Structure 1
Amino acid sequence: MSTDAEKKNGWIEARHGMPSEGDKAERTLDITERHIELFTEMSGDKNPLHTDREAAENSRFGGLIVQGGVTTGILNAVVAEDLPGPGSVFLSVDWKFSKPVYVGDTITGRVEILTVREDKPFCTIQTTVENQKGEVCVSGEAVTYTTPLPQ
């Protein structure tokens, strides 16, 4: 039988429990051409800026850039694995892409909990992806939902 406190806390069965405002997590990834190949195969995105080295090198970008889905994919990993953790998905995102990510870059995806609903497992998070130079490539806010999962 649930206690009154458990009835009011939507995070009781969340694997990582309820996060706190200010909690942070990050992951780092070295970007390779294989990331582009896999995303192209999965999505069908054959934009020459991602798939045609010569065209990309002769563009204003000066080289192959990875798809935005690859860049933001690291945020999916942080949210689903680290914070809020397993069972978490994005409900909404508001991202600004301010700098391209190139093959050979090392990106770091970071999330910070801005708000947490105690009665339901929802969080508003600040998200950023930076390259190895500390330049912000993607930034914005997102809302997540964390579903209870059996241990």
Structure 2
Amino acid sequence: MKDIFIEKMYEWTRKPYQKYFKKNAPWKIDQTQLCQYPKDSLGFGLGTFLDKNHFDIQPKLEDHDIIHVLTNTGVSVVEEIGMQYYLLGNGKKSMYLFLVILSGTPFYPKRFRYFLQQYKRGKQALPFYYLDFSKMLFMPIQSIQQTFKI
């Protein structure tokens, strides 16, 4: 039940967040094009991630799914919260990040050790959350992960 509640909160806040807070332009690419990138590339990784999880590209939120690909983070509610802890450890600070952490953590007190582990993982990686991933789609995933110690 708590997963459904948190997923609904995400749905209610996603569109206003996209419209009013995300200033970047949507990427001019679709999932079919991504799946035609070289097999080891970030673009291909994003395309297969979207396909595997039955997702569509969310305009202006493409970076979020890229972070899933680079950090090998799943899409369950707990993993989504954990990814925000990872990003906090990596230096990212945003209203949405704090909203997810503050609203999600109390629902999962038994998973706090996992959240702390994700925070520490993010701290160990070099800051990468701010990169313009749209210009990196042809780069090999492994190369990006090694460069930034992800």
TM-score, normalising length: structure 1 = 0.24
Larger Rg: 1
Give the number of the structure whose residues are more often helix, by fraction.
Answer: 2
TM-score normalised to structure 2 length: 0.24
Instruction: Select the structure with the greater relative contact order (CA < 8 A; seq sep ≥ 6).
Output: 1
Larger strand fraction of residues: 1
